[in-house]
Amino acid sequence: MWSDLFANMDSASFFNFSFLPKYIPAFVRGLEYTLLLSVVSVALAVIPALVLAIMRLSKNKIVRAISGAYIAVFRSTPLLVQLSIIYFGLFHYIQLPRYLLFGFIAINRFIPGVVALALNSSAYVAEIFRAGILAVDAGQAEAARSLGLSSWQSMRLVVLPQAIKNVLPALANELVTMVKESSICSSLGMAELMYAAQTVSGNSYITLAPFVLAALIYFVINYPASKGIEAIERRMRRGDKR
């Protein structure tokens, strides 16, 4: 019955989903891989990004230059190039175990992908943190120092908690962006959503519909998430005005 529904459709049709009964598990696993890759990458990017942001605000020119150079390199070169250098370069010398996590995630591919995405994301998140820190009124730090706190204590106890509140929506947006950017890992055989679409297209000879389905899945994840983030931002702005 399912096959009859798509029997007269061309292989290049947008809506020839006759592959679904056989290949839906590939898309489910691809979605799981994509979400895990995105969440782990952004989570690992947060701490380096915070360090980079503080370095960017340092009074030491050398420290500022190191942070600025890192951010410039990772923001000015393609993610695919970074992924290729890390996968074929760095992890050529680091031997990773060849076993499957959760039965379908190859560790020797997943870890290089996470490292590349996290390093790239940290450059962008660093600028998010820097903007959040600068958005905190300078009087807050001055008041903290007048109470006897050191510069580091005032940053850690007064400025950073307020800055983190400021950047939470932007961090959530970075996660949404990472869900899309993780598709580039398919070029190195990482079995995320885009790789699933490519594999199904090659095996079923249905050239277009698998990619349409992948696009729909990305949309179903990212569009509601973006709208939810916008709602949170509006709520936070209303709270700040009170």
Residue with tokens 């190859």: 106
Instruction: Name the residue range of residue 72's domain.
Output: 19-241
Q: Which residue has the higher pLDDT, 7 or 79?
A: 79
Give dist(CA 76, CA 208) in Å, integer. 32
Q: What is the CATH number of the domain that holds 184?
A: 1.10.3720.10
pLDDT band at 49 (very low <50, low <70, confident <90, very high): very high
pLDDT tens digit string along 162-208? 777 778 888 888 888 899 989 998 888 888 899 999 998 888 888 88
Give dist(CA 100, CA 110) in Å, integer. 10
Q: Which residue has the higher pLDDT, 165 or 10?
A: 165
Q: Would residue 6 count as lying in a domain? A: no
- 3-state secondary structure at position 196: helix
Q: What DSSP element (H or E) covers 140?
A: helix 138-146
Report how many domains make up the chain.
1
**Which has the minimum average pLDDT: 18-22, 45-49, 126-130?**
18-22
Q: Which residue has the higher pLDDT, 233 or 68?
A: 68
Q: Would residue 7 count as lying in a domain? A: no
How far, in whole angstroms, is CA 87 from its chain's centroid? Answer: 18
Q: Would residue 202 count as lying in a domain? A: yes
pLDDT band at 7 (very low <50, low <70, confident <90, very high): low
Report the predicted TM-score, pTM, of the whole model to 2 decimal places: 0.83
Residue 71 confidence (pLDDT) above 90: yes
Q: Would residue 5 count as lying in a domain? A: no
Q: Would residue 38 count as lying in a domain? A: yes
Long-range contacts of range 51-60, CB-CB < 8 Å, 24 or more positions apart?
52/122, 52/123, 52/126, 52/129, 53/126, 53/127, 53/128, 53/129, 53/130, 53/133, 54/133, 54/155, 56/126, 56/130, 57/130, 57/133, 57/134
- 3-state secondary structure at position 100: strand
Q: Would residue 165 count as lying in a domain? A: yes
Residue 222 confidence (pLDDT) above 60: yes
Q: Would residue 74 count as lying in a domain? A: yes
Q: Would residue 61 count as lying in a domain? A: yes
Give me the count of residues in the chain.
242
